[in-house]
Chain A
Amino acid sequence: MITYLDVLKGIHTGKICSERDFDLRVFAPKLKEVLKAHEIKYDPENPVPDDDALADDLWRAAMDFYCDVGTYCLDTERIVQFDANEIAQTLKTAPREFAFGEGKERKTLTQRKPEDQTPPWCFLGAAGAAVSSEANLLSLVRGYAEIPVIDSLTSPALTTVEGMRIVGGSPLEIFGAIRAVGLARQALSRAGKPGLPIMNCISTASSAIATIAASQPQFGLRTSDGWPCGTIAEMKVDYGVLSKGAYLLSWGANVCSETAPVLGGYAGGPEGTALVNTAYNILGTVIQKASYQLSFPMHYRFGCNTERRTLWSISLSSQAITRNSRLPLFIIGYVASGPMTEMVLYETAAWIIATVASGAHVEAEGVCKATHVDHFTPMEPGFAAEVAYAATGIKRSFANELVKTLLSRYEEKLNNPPLGKKYQECYNAETGKPSEEYLGLYSRIKTELEDLGLKFKY
């Protein structure tokens, strides 16, 4: 079995090459070769494919690819590689169950399968999008915690501390990270769910030093939360990622392998993006010793993952991973449009249905591409959870029809999506209640989905 120390040895002893050579002479040609050999082809007519053999073939292609390409370490300019047998043994003996949360909010996470009758893990909140004030953060987190089926929180990020703008990698980032965690935990307690795991610890921290600093128990985080360690596109790590891992694994915390293949980038088109996303799951177990993979394949042009090609990549890779791997997979949805628009609910329904029917768990969600301050509310993840429960157990062929219908209602607007309104414009931030207008819109879209044949559980 490959250990973390084997990985740390590999980054100093593996084959040395420049990053550009890794991208262009190792990664790119192998990707093309493997896709051709396994005849993986994008099918625009079926954004949710329904072919187990294709999904399994993608898994085998990803294994071939990963065994050959390995993982590139930016700091040492070396490729960490292991042979196919070692990788297979490591995957076969990896843990299957991971516990998150405390007290009555404690739950066990395992892999689902395509068309699984078990609902997905609902990891709900803001996906790290930025809020303008601590008051908004508190109000939003309380709203997320009140979503009935929430299993874990994805907290918003602060942009300022005491009026000072947080700068990544600076000492202010440490203050910001500690402050954001404290506020989120406080809001969870107020909502009566103090044990709920925060699985995007720490939204305000990007550097290893801020993560490690804010992990001190007195600040409110626990080993049973989830700790993202972001890989670097594509198939790369650095000392920062591995240092976080070294600390978190020694502490006994749940490491999250955060991955984001870019459609149009090094991963190429939809086929390459599906393959790279699948290969990342292998990397998550072999290199990062993760408790879950948190992935958000993104379209380079639209900055979201609700576009048709991206949905196909998500669906097929989710099927490949959940049918063949023990490492639980979450997909984070990033929708292009903003709160209080029809489009945000259509996009949300589309990616949730594609993901849940394909076997993955959900992190809902990055609204407005998670790039506009305050442009998100508890409505979108709440709606996402309702759709996720409704989509549990449905056939992929039905999911495919639903997704195609939904795509027809927003696809052409992805170039210029509506920004919608800010939290404080569509919710009463004090009471945490949505406006009548937003409630009316939500009810109307839910009825439309029911008319399409989706049966809501609540």
Chain B
Amino acid sequence: MPQKQDILDRLRTGVISGDEELVKLVTQEAIDGGIDPIEIVERGLTPGITEVGAKFERMEAYLTDMMMSADAMKAGMSIVLTKIPRDKIRRQGTVVLGTVKGDIHEIGKNILGALMTAAGLDVLDVGSDVPASVFAQKADEAGAAIIGASALMTTTLPGQKDIVDYLNSTGKRGKHSLLVGGGPTTPQWAEEIGADAYAETATEGVKLALRELERRRKQTN
């Protein structure tokens, strides 16, 4: 069997280059070779996706690179997770992401989703033109603490308020934090509608989501 470090390096570079097939093969090779599955995640797959996120920040990688890396990471994770006891799996939390009803702009939301994946969050992308009830329903199904709702037009901003109203009317407001963003969204708007956080950029969105999850964890404990 090749050196353990060599296998972990190949995993990391496989994720960076977004090579899904290679990552599947090497993950299996690592498991067959007896490498601890936790180590496969923490020293192989995760450093790869973290590096892609850092490259994106430096504008050395772009959205499609991140999406392909996220796919490769997920492919590796789907193999390795079957070998890790549930209580040993350490995930940051789940976020449901989408663009509000009437709005079909997706790129900002997709960039945020890819950066969140790179930061270790589980992201459920519900797409664009999404009604408030679907955001809430998907968040319930996925056990997501955070709903991220993007709006790119002044006329579709009310879709973010609809989510707050829907959560309030169904008695689920406390279950989910609402993170809003997109071109015409402002901190004043977020405050006016009662959103929990406003992010101007995707990078800020990741930080706010992690902070909000941490706040919720502390509240629970």
Chain B residues, CB < 8 A from A301: 201-203
Of A213-221, A264-272, A284-292, A325-333, the stretch lying at the interface with chain B is: A264-272
B59 within 8 A of A: yes
User: In the complex, which residue of chain B has the Cβ closest to the Cβ of A31?
Assistant: B64
Chain A residues, CB < 8 A from B63: 264-266, 268, 300
**How many angstroms between the C-alpha atoms of A20 and B125 in the bound complex?**
12
**How many angstroms between the C-alpha atoms of A303 and B111 in the bound complex?**
13
Given the known A-B contacts A24-B68, A28-B64, are A166 and B155 also in contact in the complex, defined by CB atoms under 8 Å?
A: yes
B92 within 8 A of A: no
B158 within 8 A of A: yes
**How many angstroms between the C-alpha atoms of A238 and B106 in the bound complex?**
14
Interface of B is mostly: helix
Chain B residues, CB < 8 A from A56: none
**How many angstroms between the C-alpha atoms of A278 and B147 in the bound complex?**
37
Chain B residues, CB < 8 A from A27: 64
Q: Does B111 contact A264, Cβ atoms closer than 8 Å?
A: yes
Chain A residues, CB < 8 A from B210: none
Q: Which of A28, A157, A167, A176 contacts B158 (CB 8 A)?
A: A167
Q: Does B102 contact A168, Cβ atoms closer than 8 Å?
A: yes
Q: Does B102 contact A265, Cβ atoms closer than 8 Å?
A: no
Q: Does B64 contact A168, Cβ atoms closer than 8 Å?
A: no
Taking the closest CB of chain A, its distance from the CB of B92, in whole angstroms, is 23
Q: Does A268 contact B184, Cβ atoms closer than 8 Å?
A: no
Contact with A along B33-63 (1 / 0, CB 8 A): 0000000000000000000000010010011
A388 within 8 A of B: no
Taking the closest CB of chain A, its distance from the CB of B107, in whole angstroms, is 4
A17 within 8 A of B: no
**How many angstroms between the C-alpha atoms of A19 and B65 in the bound complex?**
16
Q: Does B107 contact A168, Cβ atoms closer than 8 Å?
A: no
Q: Which of A236-282 contact B (CB under 8 A)?
A: 238, 262, 264-269, 272
Q: Which of B62, B68, B153, B201 contacts A265 (CB 8 A)?
A: B62
Q: Does A300 contact B64, Cβ atoms closer than 8 Å?
A: no
Q: Does B101 contact A169, Cβ atoms closer than 8 Å?
A: yes
User: In the complex, which residue of chain A has the Cβ closest to the Cβ of B153?
Assistant: A168
Q: Does A23 contact B184, Cβ atoms closer than 8 Å?
A: no
Q: Does A372 contact B64, Cβ atoms closer than 8 Å?
A: no
Q: Which of A215-236 contact B (CB under 8 A)?
A: 232-233
Q: Does A300 contact B108, Cβ atoms closer than 8 Å?
A: yes
Q: Does B183 contact A303, Cβ atoms closer than 8 Å?
A: yes
Q: Does B153 contact A264, Cβ atoms closer than 8 Å?
A: no
Q: Which of B59, B106, B110, B158 contacts A165 (CB 8 A)?
A: B158
Chain A residues, CB < 8 A from B67: 20, 23-24
Q: Does B184 contact A130, Cβ atoms closer than 8 Å?
A: yes
Q: Count residues on chain A whose CB falls below 8 Å from chain B CBs.
A: 39
Chain B residues, CB < 8 A from A262: 107
Taking the closest CB of chain B, its distance from the CB of A197, in whole angstroms, is 24
**How many angstroms between the C-alpha atoms of A417 and B170 in the bound complex?**
40
B103 within 8 A of A: yes
B154 within 8 A of A: yes
User: In the complex, which residue of chain A has the Cβ closest to the Cβ of B201?
Assistant: A301
Q: Which of A369-398 contact B (CB under 8 A)?
A: 369-373
**How many angstroms between the C-alpha atoms of A36 and B153 in the bound complex?**
36
B19 within 8 A of A: no
**How many angstroms between the C-alpha atoms of A372 and B203 in the bound complex?**
21
B137 within 8 A of A: no
**How many angstroms between the C-alpha atoms of A245 and B116 in the bound complex?**
37
Taking the closest CB of chain B, its distance from the CB of A63, in whole angstroms, is 21
Q: Which of A153-186 contact B (CB under 8 A)?
A: 157, 159, 165-170, 173, 176
Given the known A-B contacts A27-B64, A159-B154, are A265 and B111 also in contact in the complex, defined by CB atoms under 8 Å?
A: yes
Q: Does A268 contact B62, Cβ atoms closer than 8 Å?
A: yes
A305 within 8 A of B: no
A206 within 8 A of B: yes
Q: Which of A176, A206, A232, A266 contacts B64 (CB 8 A)?
A: A266
Chain B residues, CB < 8 A from A267: 62
Q: Does A300 contact B102, Cβ atoms closer than 8 Å?
A: no
Taking the closest CB of chain B, its distance from the CB of A222, in whole angstroms, is 24
Q: Does B155 contact A206, Cβ atoms closer than 8 Å?
A: yes
Given the known A-B contacts A24-B68, A264-B62, are A233 and B183 also in contact in the complex, defined by CB atoms under 8 Å?
A: no
Given the known A-B contacts A24-B67, A168-B103, are A130 and B62 also in contact in the complex, defined by CB atoms under 8 Å?
A: no
User: In the complex, which residue of chain A has the Cβ closest to the Cβ of B107?
Assistant: A265
B186 within 8 A of A: yes
Contact with B along A303-346 (1 / 0, CB 8 A): 10000010000000000000000000000000000000000000
Q: List 15 A-B contacts (CB under 8 A).
A: A130-B184, A157-B154, A168-B102, A169-B156, A170-B102, A233-B105, A265-B107, A268-B64, A268-B65, A269-B59, A269-B62, A300-B107, A300-B202, A301-B202, A373-B154
Contacts from B to A (Cβ < 8 Å): 56, 59, 62-65, 67-68, 71, 101-108, 110-111, 153-156, 158-159, 183-184, 186, 201-203
